[in-house]
A and B are shown apart, each in its own frame.
Chain A
Amino acid sequence: MADNPSFRRHPHPFSIDLVRWLPSSATSPSDRLLAAAVHDPSVASSYIHLLPLADPSSPLASLPLPSRATALRCSPSALAATTSTGSLHLAPSSSFDAGAAVAVSGGAGFHVGPVRGLDCGGEEWVTAGEDGRVHVIGGGGDGRVVARRVWDGKGMAGYEAAKWASPAEFATGGAGCGVQWWDQRKGDAPVTQCSGIWGHGLVTGMVHSIDIHPSRKHICVVGGSSGTIFAWDLRWPQQPIPLSGIGLHGIVQPVCESEVWEVLFDTYTQSSDIISSTSARILPVMICSEDGILAVVEQGDERPLELLAEPCAINSFDIDTQNPSDVVCALEWESIGVLTRGRDAMAEE
């Protein structure tokens, strides 16, 4: 648990539920911005804060939310958040204030209950909620947003994650339903699905997060309960590939044993096996977990690269797309962590 010198914690006086890098045109690294979903239980208020990386303790602007944020995503043009009461809030990145934000309120017409699946795919946003509904939200042409219901599972399945693969395709995941692939060109129903591969000898688990690499749109990487991380290749949909939890010989120590909250392809870590890194190989994946692990896992690699082992849960993290060496994470104990991976460390590998 040695403290990494390139890791800084910034304490806040409230819970940090989610954190993301904002895409910015800033040339100087210190001018970069973070977006954080915060919640203060003492006054039961929730906000999205816009924070400068140079001093993440003092917000530049904040957007009030009706309830606790359950998902937060940034696109080049907007910042979106969904809440535990089923609403969606979109704020244009150009003017981050309550006046310019657009909201789709929760309820029978949209989502009922928490919405954890949220992603931006070009022009449209997708939301997938615990109520089993899937919506695609786009501009109505006149500044309004229009939500179209793709699917209503009526609570029979609950969704926890959503990720676009292309402007027409996206993946969702949740409790029991594993991962599902949707293609809007083929109608409003899942095209194919995969129940996943779970640790501890379990047959079913809950998907918490999905990521799809922009250059390999046929591969989803999935993080879920019981420390499960697996990849799902659409070309072999019946054979998910375990990345953690189940070793080749069944005795490998998994990266973590608790909930894997988020997964992201790590564009910074070079694959350890460059020669054989054909399109079949899964690229390195970064994960964060309830037991405080931030690590990079690779297919077939028995020793994952552990970046952080915190005494508290890491609820959320994000890799800066412009500077992939920089990672920001939301720690359970009311703080934001900023990790800078040095070039030297990588040269050694």
Chain B
Amino acid sequence: MPGMPTDGGGAMVPFSGEPGQASPAPPPVRHIRHCVAPPISRVFISWSSGNLLQVACLRQPSSEGRGGVEEVGGRVVEVNLGAGGCGGVEVDEEIDAAEIRRIEYGSVPAFALLQSRKNALTEAAAMSHAPSLSEHAEWWQYVLEYSKTIGNLLGNPDSPPAFTLEDPKTILKVGEKPTSLRAAWELLEMFFVDKQLQGWLPECLVDWLDDFDSLLSKESTVYSNLSSFQKKLIKLQIVEDDPDYWNGLAAALSVGWLDIVFSLYFHQTENGLVEAVAVLVSTMPRMRPDLPSGKLGQCCKTRPDFIKVLYKTEVSYLYLQAWEKWRGQVNKLECSAFWIQCGHRKTRDGLKKLLHILMGNVKELTAATSHWLELFVSHFLYIRPFTVGFEGMHHLAQKCIELKPSSGTNGLTDLLVGILSENPEVVLAECTNNFGPWFVTHAMELLTADNDYADMMLHEERPKFGGISIEELHRIVYAQVLCSHSLTWQVSFCLKSCNFGHLIRVCEQTLEICRLYELENVSTNIMKISGIYHWKHGRKGDGVYWFQQAHDKVRLDRIAQQLFERIGKSVTDDSFKQWEGLLELLGSDIGSAGGLEFLHRYVFLPANSCLFMAFGFTFFPITFWYRDFKRSLQQAQEGRTGEAARQTAEFLIQVELLNCKPKPLLNVAETTLLLNKLQELSLAKLHPDFSSNHLPSHALNTVRLALASNLARAILEE
């Protein structure tokens, strides 16, 4: 039976591993300090907000008191089940939870904008039988805009630090620390979204590696080699004597970091050969439309309209020409006689090595680079600058992995291989495994931007997932992650079950979500729950307020009954003052849902006669009061029973209030009639059979006096 503690070992529920698994990992055990003395009869467990679990431990209520010693009957303990946030393994290491939340918040507007644009385009397409979404001219630009916004959110590796001291010994740039999320996002943007980049993919990868090389591996990358050499550089006197200097130069050159090559170059003694190599490096043709300032090389200078029209052929042709010419110059230098004149052997060998890299010597490139991805990029720079097809790139990647098997894999390289293999399933799986639910949810938009197969794969309804698509599945997973944290739960696009452990304005927030999504019945339920919560905690006014908002007639009626039973029991001025707020609520003319209308049912109960007196006139809407009064007056006029007269008098107990009004409430005839009835009543009181303790004689006297003064004013008025 669940909830019953077993005696052995203190385990609540026996844990058994999944069937078929040999040795299940032991479940994490948490100890709870509940300070409730045994025996505990019941344990309740429920989810609170975020990752909080509420555990209530209750004792059996003991029938006899234990000599005045107050024992704790039970206690509710909150258990925080670890930090929430992104589930990505790699992500957690470098970004803390607050940073992830910042990304989650920041991505909402861009995501929402893209979705609304998508809906608008889809609607327009449906109206005019226009081509599908991915064929829309603007669509990929919308996605690109979205991608750039999200990319900026993930950190900007190009942003310069606040202060830069120009230190000649600093060769590596100091910027914002690159993140895997940003690196992965840029890869997807480059290959799936940005159509302008399609001709320049190899050079894009060069730039990408420049920004994110440090993320590829902790031990062996060009970046790590250069940063360890940078430490050494400070102590070196004559750099060209050190083999690490030439290795560093070769490494930087092989991955195309020409600016670093140049900053290293300034450290050595000038000679003709050094200068000649420098010129060749700086005039290297680059297969790209432009170069950011500070970068070296010669880009293809074409007129802008060229790129659009004759993009494939003309640009390639121009580039090819420049490349052939430059290669010719490199070869010429290689064969020149200057090498014999160069006396410094290490300089000569080093420069030869650089020259061989420029000439695309596979052996030198493999030696200079550390990671297969670096080798891959160096191929584009120096061996096959024209390889742009995915298939060719994929083959090359496989070859590089074979050449540098030790470099290992990580999320980014796996993602790149997945992209090159042109397999959206693999890409999606790599994203899911490495970068967490936030990334997958937002990256799916990039995958489908211009890829019909991915679009179909993600949007196809899958019976295996209960009829939802893969896209929806990932969104639900992401929504669950958001819901599991108390600060982000309202971000979740899917409204999931909310809980009410912490009613710190949670109710209003939830109602706001309901309002936006037109979930009226959900919001009514939430209001009811909120009403019960407040009522249970003694905040009766708030409780009634929420019941009224929810139009919960049943509960309001129950409350009304309680209210009147209580008032019937004891009436003091002070206790009624406390009811003021509640009466104000109930007194408002709210229509069918819990106004004072229910009072009509109680009005003629003897216990309530004093109600009016105690509440005072002001708390009752005049219309309500007067209508009932008139009805009762009518009955009195018809004069059928002494009972009617008594009821009238009960009403009249508060006719003192007649005095408050500047105008008489009753005309002369009515007042005379009432005075007569009052006389009858006071006579009836003398009768031994009359039983009513609700009409004290002083009250009758007050009524008589008030009626008399009303009569006087009524006569004056007439």
Query: What's the least CB distance linking A100 to chain B, in Å?
Result: 28
**Which residues of A have CB within 8 Å of B491?**
312, 333
Contact residues of A between 61 and 105, Cβ < 8 Å to B: 68, 70, 84
Is A259 at the interface (CB under 8 A from chain B)?
yes
Checking B109, B486, B548 against A204 with a beta-carbon cut-off of 8 angstroms, the contacting residue is B548
Q: Is the CB of B542 within 8 A of A175?
A: yes
Checking B101, B487, B548, B580 against A156 with a beta-carbon cut-off of 8 angstroms, the contacting residue is B580
Q: Is the CB of B541 within 8 A of A189?
A: no
Residue in chain A with minimal CB distance to B593: A203
Is A169 at the interface (CB under 8 A from chain B)?
no
Q: Is the CB of B580 within 8 A of A290?
A: no
Contact residues of A between 147 and 206, Cβ < 8 Å to B: 152-158, 174-178, 189-190, 193, 195, 202-204, 206
Checking B80, B101, B584 against A178 with a beta-carbon cut-off of 8 angstroms, the contacting residue is B584
**Which residues of A have CB within 8 Å of B83?**
42
Q: Is the CB of B109 within 8 A of A152?
A: no
B523-552: CB near A (< 8 Å → 1, else 0) gives 000000000001001111110110011000
Distance A290 CA – B516 CA, assembled complex (angstroms): 11
Q: Is the CB of A13 within 8 A of B98?
A: yes
**Which residues of B have CB within 8 Å of A206?**
545
Given contacts A153-B541, A189-B577, contact A177 B490 (CB under 8 A): no
Is A247 at the interface (CB under 8 A from chain B)?
no
Q: Is the CB of B590 within 8 A of A312?
A: no
Distance A311 CA – B491 CA, assembled complex (angstroms): 10
- Of B244-252, B292-300, B507-515, B598-606, the segment with at least 4 beta carbons within 8 Å of chain A is B507-515
Query: What's the least CB distance linking B185 to chain A, in Å?
Result: 19
Distance A311 CA – B516 CA, assembled complex (angstroms): 13
Distance A254 CA – B490 CA, assembled complex (angstroms): 23
Residue in chain B with minimal CB distance to A178: B584
Of listed B102, B485, B491, B539, residue having the most chain A CB within 10 A? B539
B576-612: CB near A (< 8 Å → 1, else 0) gives 0111111011001111000000000000000000000
Distance A236 CA – B50 CA, assembled complex (angstroms): 48
Distance A157 CA – B584 CA, assembled complex (angstroms): 9
Q: Is the CB of B578 within 8 A of A311?
A: no
Q: Is the CB of A177 within 8 A of B541?
A: yes
Is A11 at the interface (CB under 8 A from chain B)?
yes
Q: Is the CB of A130 within 8 A of B539?
A: yes
Q: Is the CB of A311 within 8 A of B584?
A: no
Query: What's the least CB distance linking B536 to chain A, in Å?
Result: 11
**Which residues of A have CB within 8 Å of B537?**
113, 155
Q: Is the CB of A157 within 8 A of B580?
A: yes
Given contacts A44-B80, A156-B540, A193-B584, contact A257 B534 (CB under 8 A): no
Residue in chain B with minimal CB distance to A177: B581
Checking B102, B109, B512, B538 against A311 with a beta-carbon cut-off of 8 angstroms, the contacting residue is B109
Q: Is the CB of A156 within 8 A of B589?
A: no
Given contacts A131-B538, A157-B584, A195-B588, contact A176 B512 (CB under 8 A): no
Distance A312 CA – B509 CA, assembled complex (angstroms): 11
A110-153: CB near B (< 8 Å → 1, else 0) gives 00111000000000000000111000000000000000000011
Checking A1, A131, A154 against B109 with a beta-carbon cut-off of 8 angstroms, the contacting residue is A1
Q: Is the CB of A158 within 8 A of B539?
A: yes
**Which residues of B have CB within 8 Å of A113?**
537, 539
Query: What's the least CB distance linking B155 to chain A, in Å?
Result: 13
Q: Is the CB of A174 within 8 A of B541?
A: yes
Is A302 at the interface (CB under 8 A from chain B)?
no
* Interface class of chain A by DSSP: loop
Query: What's the least CB distance linking B195 to chain A, in Å?
Result: 27
Distance A132 CA – B540 CA, assembled complex (angstroms): 10
Q: Is the CB of B515 within 8 A of A257?
A: yes
Q: Is the CB of B97 within 8 A of A176?
A: no
Residue in chain B with minimal CB distance to A176: B585
**Which residues of A have CB within 8 Å of B109?**
1, 311
**Which residues of B have CB within 8 Å of A68?**
504
**Which residues of B have CB within 8 Å of A204?**
545, 548, 585, 588, 590
Is A14 at the interface (CB under 8 A from chain B)?
yes
Distance A312 CA – B504 CA, assembled complex (angstroms): 17
Query: What's the least CB distance linking B588 to chain A, in Å?
Result: 5
Q: Is the CB of B541 within 8 A of A132?
A: yes
**Which residues of B have CB within 8 Å of A266?**
none
Q: Is the CB of A157 within 8 A of B581?
A: yes
Is B105 at the interface (CB under 8 A from chain A)?
yes
Q: Is the CB of A114 within 8 A of B504?
A: yes
Given contacts A206-B545, A311-B108, contact A176 B539 (CB under 8 A): no
Query: What's the least CB distance linking A223 to chain B, in Å?
Result: 13
Q: Is the CB of B580 within 8 A of A153?
A: yes
Q: Is the CB of A156 within 8 A of B512?
A: no
**Which residues of A have CB within 8 Å of B105?**
312, 333-335
- Number of inter-chain CB pairs below 8 Å: 143
Checking A12, A13, A156 against B581 with a beta-carbon cut-off of 8 angstroms, the contacting residue is A156
Checking B108, B509, B581 against A290 with a beta-carbon cut-off of 8 angstroms, the contacting residue is B509
Distance A335 CA – B80 CA, assembled complex (angstroms): 24
Is B112 at the interface (CB under 8 A from chain A)?
yes
Q: Is the CB of A313 within 8 A of B509?
A: yes
A281-298: CB near B (< 8 Å → 1, else 0) gives 000000000110000000
Residue in chain B with minimal CB distance to A17: B504
Query: What's the least CB distance linking B620 to chain A, in Å?
Result: 13
Is B96 at the interface (CB under 8 A from chain A)?
yes
Contact residues of B between 346 and 372, Cβ < 8 Å to A: none
Q: Is the CB of A334 within 8 A of B487?
A: yes
Is A244 at the interface (CB under 8 A from chain B)?
no
B47-80: CB near A (< 8 Å → 1, else 0) gives 0011000000000000000000000000000001
**Which residues of B have CB within 8 Å of A258?**
508, 512, 515
A234-262: CB near B (< 8 Å → 1, else 0) gives 00000000000000000000000111000
Query: What's the least CB distance linking A130 to chain B, in Å?
Result: 6
Is A209 at the interface (CB under 8 A from chain B)?
no
Query: What's the least CB distance linking A110 to chain B, in Å?
Result: 15
Given contacts A156-B579, A158-B534, contact A225 B112 (CB under 8 A): no
Distance A225 CA – B99 CA, assembled complex (angstroms): 33
Distance A211 CA – B108 CA, assembled complex (angstroms): 33
Query: What's the least CB distance linking A2 to chain B, in Å?
Result: 12
Of listed A44, A84, A193, A204, residue having the most chain B CB within 10 A? A204
Distance A152 CA – B580 CA, assembled complex (angstroms): 11
Residue in chain B with minimal CB distance to A312: B105
Residue in chain A with minimal CB distance to B591: A203
Contact residues of A between 5 and 35, Cβ < 8 Å to B: 11-15
Residue in chain A with minimal CB distance to B508: A259
Query: What's the least CB distance linking A33 to chain B, in Å?
Result: 23
Residue in chain A with minimal CB distance to B49: A41
Distance A312 CA – B109 CA, assembled complex (angstroms): 9
Is A332 at the interface (CB under 8 A from chain B)?
yes
**Which residues of B have CB within 8 Å of A178?**
584
Q: Is the CB of B102 within 8 A of A156?
A: no
**Which residues of B have CB within 8 Å of A290?**
508-509, 512
Interface of B toward A, CB cutoff 8 Å: 49-50, 80, 83-84, 96-99, 101-102, 105-106, 108-109, 112, 485-487, 490-491, 504, 508-509, 512, 515-516, 534, 537-542, 544-545, 548-549, 577-582, 584-585, 588-591
* A to B CB contacts below 8 Å, 21 in the list: A13-B98, A154-B538, A154-B578, A155-B538, A155-B540, A155-B541, A156-B581, A157-B580, A157-B581, A158-B541, A174-B541, A174-B581, A175-B581, A176-B588, A190-B580, A195-B584, A203-B588, A203-B590, A257-B515, A333-B105, A333-B106
Interface of A toward B, CB cutoff 8 Å: 1, 11-15, 41-42, 44, 68, 70, 84, 112-114, 130-132, 152-158, 174-178, 189-190, 193, 195, 202-204, 206, 225, 257-259, 290-291, 311-313, 332-335
A177-B584, A313-B490, A334-B102 known; 15 other A-B pairs, CB under 8 Å?
Answer: A42-B83, A44-B80, A153-B581, A156-B579, A156-B581, A158-B539, A158-B541, A158-B545, A175-B581, A177-B541, A177-B580, A203-B591, A204-B545, A204-B588, A311-B109
Instruction: Across the A-B interface, give the 6 residue pairs with the lowest CB-CB distance, nearest first.
Output: A157-B581, A13-B98, A176-B585, A333-B105, A157-B541, A175-B545
